[in-house]
Structure 1
Amino acid sequence: MLELSLLGPLRVESPRGEVRTTSTKIRQVLALLALESPSAVGIDRIIHELWPLRPPKSAVGTIQTYVYHLRKQLAEHVGCGTKVLATVNNGYLLALDPGSIDARRFEQVVRDGRAVLDAGHAAEASRKMDEALAMWHGAALADVRQGPSLDAEAVRLEGLREAALELRVQADLEQEHLPEVIPELQALIRRYPLRERFHHQLVSALNRAGRRADALSAYRHTCRVLNEELGLDPSDELRRLHQIVLTGQTRTPALEGR
């Protein structure tokens, strides 16, 4: 059974050891097939991924050669490369269980954690999100050249990673882990200054901790950042939180739409 890691450098592991793919283009093909598995990827899409501007006349034949070499490498580790990498309707399919691809496992654990949090089980949700976030070992597809499809998928996965961070912080907030959450949020805001939800969570955490002046200062900072960087006003949700802080309430509602 193969195990593919995409949440960081691309790695392919088998019971016989690592499947080493050094060709830049072959790694692109493998990453694209893995991200679409168990669906097939048409050869036209592969061509656009590898040569988005000016594909060579030999593109189809070149991709067939890449697939031949990839199958050969896979066969050395799993016995029959054509069973793992099949030709399907003018395209190719990487026949793997979604659980063998870290990006798919990550998405499933995040979905499970969100459902658990919505059901009111904050401690379990926090553990789920920690499990999901531990699957990351750097930027998605960190050492893979990215054409249009892979670039879009890397951006999407990073967005899910940030959402998982938000959910894990929210779970910790609901458990009143304020001494740990506040400095973590301050660090996350430095890393993701335009992610409004982290700002919302920081204002909420400071207010819950009885630090009303700091919460108001954090709100003003958020307004300034959003205006200067994006030309935006704070969301209705954040403005409602601001009103709660102004009235002196220390309990704040959970974020909407989490």
Structure 2
Amino acid sequence: MRYELLGPLRVRHEEQSHSLSAPKVETTLATLLIGGGRAVTKEQLVTELWGDRPPRRASAAVHVYISQLRKFLAGAGDTEGGAIVTRPLGYELRLGGAGWDVAEFKEAMRTGRGLRSAGRHEEALESLERASSLIRGPVLDGVAEGPVLTAFTAWAEEERLQCLELSVEARTALGRHREVIGLLCTLTAQYPLRESFYRQLMLVLYRSERQAEALQVYRSAQRVLRAELGLEPHRSLRRLHQAILTSDRMLDLPAAS
């Protein structure tokens, strides 16, 4: 079995994909998965399912959803019925030998960051591309309403953006800056308040002999930040702007040793 949460929630077994059609049962499974092998209390499940306005028989409804979830998992590969364990205060989802894309993503990101810090950019890029490939689309789209699922979706989105940033840095360090210009143009449009994407775009444009366009990106960032937040760009962006104006040789790609 394999649980996949980085996109539409599904469970895979022997090349077959199983998805839940009942939103409440899907929310229950997602909450247990995010629990990471720890017991999730009935109160936590009630909050994720109904917020601060639960029905009068919420506890009984949770019991029904757990029963439905057990049946679903049995059909998805949990033939021994041991995935969901009842605890004194709630329920625990035991992964056992099952795979989980979130754990794989975290490991790939951890490896990628470590390799990048060690200057092993080609290997770092491979690991980061592996992490990126695990994200299949919007995480828990239309499902996340309670605090646990909302926090998880926010974490997943931030990690996805960091993965993109690190991948761009790795490609830039390898001299593959022209490959990421289109991507960064899209990202600055989608995330106009994220200054790191402006910084990366300015650098790769400069290294692609497009100095004027790099300076235009800075002016665009400055205009957006002033209009939206009443702020000037961060000092790192201002320093890069000045370095581009003076064609600082520190911006050149370091020669291979």
**TM-score (norm. length: structure 2):** 0.91
> In 2, distance between residues paired with 1:29 and 1:196?
37
Q: Which runs of 4+ in 1 moved over 4 A?
A: none
Instruction: Report the counterpart of residue 243 of structure 1 in structure 2.
Output: 242
The equivalent residue for 1:85 is: 84
Relative to structure 1, the CA distance from residue 117 to residue 40 in structure 2 (aligned partners, 3 Å threshold; closer, same or farther) is: same
Q: Which residue of 2 aligns with 1:226?
A: 225
Structure 2: give runs of 5+ residues left out of the alignment: none
- Would the aligned equivalents of 2:46 and 2:58 in 1 still touch at CA under 8 Å? yes
Amino acid at match of 2:37: P
What letter matches 2:235 in structure 1?
D
Residue type of the alignment partner of 1:58: R
Q: Distance in 2 between matches of 1:38 and 1:157?
A: 19
Alignment CA distance shift 1:17-1:245 (3 Å): closer
C-alpha distance after superposition, 1:134-183 (max 9, x if no partner) = 11211011353533321221121011101100000010011111221222
C-alpha contact 1:5 1:12 (8 A) present in aligned 2: yes
- Which residue of structure 2 lines up, in the alignment, with residue 65 of structure 1? 64
Q: Do the aligned residues in 2 keep the contact of 1:85 with 1:94 (CA within 8 Å)?
A: yes
Please tell me the residue identity of whatever aligns with 1:127.
E
Contact 1:10 1:143 in 2 (8 A): no
What is residue 38 of structure 2 aligned with on the other side? 39
The answer as to 2:127 corresponding to 1:154 is no
1:202-233 deviation line (CA, Å, top 9, x unaligned):
11112222322222111111111111122222
User: How has the CA–CA distance of structure 1 residues 202 and 68 changed in structure 2, closer, same or farther, with 3 Å as cutoff?
Assistant: same
Residue 24 of structure 1: aligned partner: 23
- The 3-state SS of whatever aligns with 1:193 is coil
- Cα drift, residue 101 of structure 1: 1.5
- 1:224 aligned partner, one-letter code: R
1:132 aligned partner, one-letter code:
A
For residue 79 of structure 1, what is the amino acid of its counterpart? T
Q: Which residue of 2 aligns with 1:179?
A: 178
Pair 1:55-2:84 in alignment: no
After TM superposition, the structure 1 stretch with the greater mean CA deviation from structure 2, 104-113 or 203-212, is 203-212
In the TM superposition, what whole-angstrom CA distance separates every residue of 1:217-253 from its partner, at most 9, and x where no partner exists?
1111111111112222211211121221122114339
The alpha-carbon distance between structure 1 residues 208 and 84, as it changes in their structure 2 partners (threshold 3 A), is same
Does structure 1 conserve the Cα–Cα contact (< 8 Å) formed by 2:243 and 2:251? yes
Following superposition, the deviation at residue 97 of structure 1 comes to 5.0
**1:88 CA displacement:** 2.0
Structure 1 residue 190: Cα displacement:
1.7
- TM-score of the aligned structures, taking structure 1 as reference length: 0.90
User: Bigger shift: 160-169 or 94-103?
Assistant: 94-103
Aligned equivalent of 1:193: 192
Please say if residues 204 and 252 of structure 1, whose CA atoms lie closer than 8 Å, have aligned partners that are also in contact: yes
Counterpart contact for 1:9–1:140, Cα < 8 Å: yes
Percent identity (aligned): 37
SS at match of 1:251: helix
Opposite residue 162 of structure 2, the aligned amino acid is A
Q: Which is worse superposed, 122-131 or 136-145?
A: 136-145
Return closer, same or farther for 1:234/1:145 CA change in 2, 3 Å cut-off.
Answer: closer
Aligned residues: 252
The residue number in structure 1 matching 2:214 is: 215
Structure 1: segments with no counterpart, 5+ residues: none
In the alignment, which residue of structure 1 is the partner of 2:134?
A: 135
Give the CA deviation at 1:85: 0.5
